[in-house]
Amino acid sequence: MTMSGTQWIKSSYSDPQGGNCVEWAPGRVSGSGVVPVRDSKETGRSLSFSPAAWRVFIEGVKRSV
């Protein structure tokens, strides 16, 4: 999947000092059926999750904070 021109959004749970930063691309979800996720320090690579798997991950993060 080509990610050039993709608008990435940094998670509100990311470290404000730039340590642990997760970004996702909501604009890519509807057309492809996947949620692209990347480390903001390693922008050349991303992982893709199904929307259902992404929701489970987000709910787990919310419960752990």
| 58 and 15 Cβ atoms separated by less than 8 Å | no
Structure tokens at 28: 């890519």
Supply the pLDDT for residue 30: 57
pLDDT at 52 over 80: yes
Structure tokens at 21: 């930063």
Quickly state the pLDDT bin for 56 (edges 50, 70, 90). Answer: very high
Residue with token string 């993709």: 6
| 21 and 39 Cβ atoms separated by less than 8 Å | yes
pLDDT at 18 over 80: no
| 37 and 43 Cβ atoms separated by less than 8 Å | no
pLDDT at 33 over 70: yes
Distance of CA 6 to the CA centre of its chain: 12
Answer yes or no: pTM beyond 0.85: no
